[in-house]
Amino acid sequence: MQRPGTTEQQHDTVDMMLNMGPQHPATHGVFRMVLTLDGERVVEVVPHIGYLHRGSEKLCETESYAQVVTLFDRLDYVANLNNELAFCRAAERLMDVDVPERAQYIRVALCELNRLASHLLFLGTYAIDLGAMTPIMYGFRERERIQNLFESVTGARMMHNFIRIGGVKEDVPADFVPRTRAVLEDVRKGVDEIDRLLTFNEVFLARTKGVGVIDAATAISCGLTGPSLRGSGVAYDVRKDDPYEIYRYLGFEVPVGAAGDCWDRYYVRLLECYQSIDLVVQCLDQMEPGPTMTQRRRIARPPKGEVYVHCENPRGDMGVFLVSDGTDKPYRVKVRPPSFCNLVALRPMMRGEYIADAVAILGSIDIVLGEVDR
């Protein structure tokens, strides 16, 4: 019997549609992939987003500039300080405010610590995606030390609202420098431990080497940024190519992959952990006493105009486009979230791979849904 839509030559099989997410343990939140499967092979993938849409950009238009910072905390909720910095820099550029040097050092030190915390979370969750359950314990243990540090500085563990337009909320506590040095020593050991346990593990290599390969040209045309792009061999880093704050006074390396597979993206992040540790140490060494907030009084109402500012977030190039109509509230805020743009590369990476690889690939882009959906 011939079924409609088939010819006699074809096998009487249908591809299976599998709905992965929004409630799936490996989609890192409320991401949804509709996979078309041929057995265990992924034929087609259609990502669906928007389950965590909170209208953050629209909400920004109803808040004064100082209040918008709290909304940016909630975009990429594992790298809060980096988001705050992106918005504050945009507002400062618009208002033409100079930030005192000490405030800039504090900002960079905290942002690098937050990058470290974010990458530690990635190392753990990526191992979980691949079925290894131990690294996440190490990752969370070390991240906890950094969160405690944040708590002592900002009073909060996640929603800091610490970086303000024109500087930072207040100076760091007196014991910040020695405490941070001690924490960094511990964290370095923790990253070493994850490295030893996971990086050259035969099974881990089998699961990540040559999986989800994306070449540099495709990666660029997809708009991939951050560690995911650097894994493909493109040495693009906003800290290097468009240095902001006091990054020009700091020396660091930008680790770059070659194959553009999951392992390279993983290893770039692992190496970035060490770079972040070094960056924080340099900040602590160079930091000098001084004011932490601009002396200018009127920083509530920027002049009419628009500005685009971008920063290197743990997930990539975070851009903020800010339009002012001269009132105390922004006229329009548009965010270029790195996670959202990186998701574009999902299809070219995932097609033709196995289901298990789909999980590995999604994990290796390291998305945060708060930022994707906004």
Q: In the complex with other proteins, which residue's Cβ is closer, 200 or 308?
A: 200
> Cα–Cα distance between 334 and 343 in angstroms, integer?
18
Q: What is the rounded distance in angstroms from the CA atom of residue 178 to the CA atom of residue 268?
A: 28
Tallying the residues shown for the chain, one arrives at 374
Instruction: Please name the helix (run of DSSP H) or strand (run of DSSP E) that holds residue 307, with its range, or none.
Output: strand 305-313
Q: Which residue has the tokens 């708009």?
A: 223
Binding mask 278-307 for other proteins (x = CB under 8 A): ----x---x-x-x-----------------
For the chain, how long is the longest CA-to-CA vector? 85
> Which part of the chain contacts other proteins (CB under 8 A), choosing from 51-59, 88-96, 161-169, 354-362?
354-362
Q: Select the residue interacting with other proteins from 199, 216, 305, 306 (CB under 8 A).
A: 199
Closest CA to 169 of 114, 111, 107, 117: 107
Nearest distance, CB of residue 110 and other proteins, angstroms: 19
With binding defined as CB under 8 A, does residue 356 bind other proteins? Answer: yes
The residue (of 151 and 253) whose beta carbon lies closer to other proteins is 253
Tell the smallest beta-carbon distance from residue 349 to other proteins (Å).
16
Closer residue to other proteins, CB minimum distance, 72 or 204: 204
Q: By rule CB under 8 A, what string of x and - marks binding of each residue 11-30 to other proteins?
A: -x---x-xx----xxx----
Site for other proteins contains 188 (CB under 8 A): no
Smallest separation (angstroms) from other proteins to the CB of 72: 26
- The residue among 60 and 279 lying less far from other proteins, judged by its C-beta, is 279
Position 351 contacts other proteins (CB under 8 A):
no
Query: In terms of Cα–Cα distance, which of 87, 17, 166 is closest to 333?
Result: 87
CB of 22 to other proteins, least distance (A): 13
CB of 57 to other proteins, least distance (A): 32
Location of structure tokens 């709290």 = 70
Q: Which of 257, 337, 348, 370 binds other proteins (CB under 8 A)?
A: 257
Nearest-10 crossing angle of helices 176-194, 101-129: 20
Distance between CA atoms of residues 224 and 227, nearest Å: 9
| DSSP H or E stretch at residue 361 | helix 355-365
Cα-based angle 75, 78, 81 (whole degrees, multiple of 5): 75
Distances (CA, A) of 78 to 103, 159, 161, 281: 22, 10, 14, 22
Minimum separation from the CB atom of position 27 to other proteins (A): 9
For other proteins, the closer of residues 320 and 359 by Cβ is 359
Binding characters for other proteins, 79-98, by CB under 8 A (x = yes): --------------------
Which 28-57 positions form the footprint of other proteins (CB under 8 A)? 40
Per-residue binding letters, 141-160, with other proteins (x by CB under 8 A):
x-------------------
- State the amino acid at position 8 in one-letter form: E
- Which residues lie below 8 Å from residue 93, measured CB to CB, with a gap of 6+? 307, 309
Per rule CB under 8 A, is residue 182 in the interface with other proteins?
A: no
Give how far Cα 95 sits from Cα of 230, 294, 301, 326, Å: 33, 12, 8, 10
Binding-residue total with other proteins (CB under 8 A): 63
**Which CB, 223 or 233, lies closer to other proteins?**
233
Q: In this structure, what is the dihedral angle of CA atoms 352, 357, 360, 361, given to the nearest 10 degrees?
A: 0
Applying CB under 8 A, the residues found at the interface with other proteins are 1, 12, 16, 18-19, 24-26, 40, 101, 127-134, 137-138, 141, 197-207, 209, 233, 235, 237, 239-240, 248-259, 263, 267-268, 271, 282, 286, 288, 290, 354-357, 359
